[in-house]
Amino acid sequence: MIQLAPSILSADFSKLGEDVKALEMYGADIVHIDVMDGMFVPNISFGIPVIKSIRNLTKLTFDVHLMIEEPSRYIEDFVKAGADIITVHFEADKHLDRTINYIKSFGVKAAVALNPATPVENIKHLIPQLDMVLIMSVNPGFGGQKFIGYALDKIREVKALAEKYNNNLLIEVDGGVDASNIKELKSAGANVLVAGSAVFKGGEIKENIEIIKREF
């Protein structure tokens, strides 16, 4: 089953609560929340208070994608804010095995994200422990970038590892996802699709989600 995870980084921040409610109303499965610290990536987005403020507006799963240095410092705070899945970057954590176990100790799901140039092989031994792997198909930190084609090969690699070590693993892809490449992503093995601009463009959330889901 394919799940749609709109990234609220592309939402209208002046009416964020309304946009989040609309996602549930119009058939999204997960709310993807990009947290940026201005260090791991150049931009700064939003943090714990914003997540708390929208948590009671929807029953959808909150996938909190931490594009921050030393993410283990804030795991408990994000759990308390309402995260259901916490995604940390391989490149941002010196003790990734420990962080994954720390996340899972709170009863939430743990995921690892890989930047475009980071080989899948680096997380091979973590696959049995993980709930999800996020393949970045753009360089993190900015919305609206063009899809990087070799991400498809990385998705296939993760799929092969999942079939060998963890049949329940979710494979998420983030960056440049729209109706034009969903069939390719699905064929490669992705089953959680993060879409920002493609969902929120023009403020037409209902119509945009319908267009995307036709490709599922």
Number of domains in the chain: 1
Both tokens of 10, joined, read 């592309």
CATH of the domain at 188: 3.20.20.70
Residue list, annotated binding site for a divalent metal cation: 32, 34, 65, 174
**pLDDT above 80 (res 121):** yes
**pLDDT above 90 (res 182):** yes
Q: What residue numbers bound the domain in which 60 lies? A: 3-213
**pLDDT above 80 (res 142):** no
Residue list, annotated binding site: 7, 32, 34, 65, 141-144, 174-176, 196-197
Is 84 catalytic? The answer is: no
Task: Please say whether the beta carbons of 37 and 5 come within 8 A.
Answer: no
Band of residue 143 on the pLDDT scale cut at 50, 70, 90:
low
How far is CA 102 from each of CA 31, 92, 183, 190, rounded to the nearest angstrom?
22, 16, 35, 26
**pLDDT above 80 (res 118):** yes
Q: What percentage of the chain reaches a pLDDT higher than 70? A: 99
Tell me the pLDDT tens digit for each residue of 29-74. Answer: 999 999 999 999 989 999 999 999 999 999 999 999 999 999 999 9
Band of residue 145 on the pLDDT scale cut at 50, 70, 90:
confident
Q: What percentage of the chain reaches a pLDDT higher than 90? A: 96
Active-site residue (options: 34, 37, 63, 93):
34
**167: Cβ contacts below 8 Å, ≥ 6 apart:** none
Is 174 catalytic? The answer is: yes
Rounded to an integer, the average pLDDT of 106-119 is: 98
User: Could you count the other beta carbons within 10 Å of the beta carbon of residue 111?
Assistant: 24
Rounded to an integer, the average pLDDT of 1-27 is: 97
**pLDDT above 90 (res 141):** no
Geometric angle at alpha carbon 147, from 145 and 151, rounded to 5°: 135
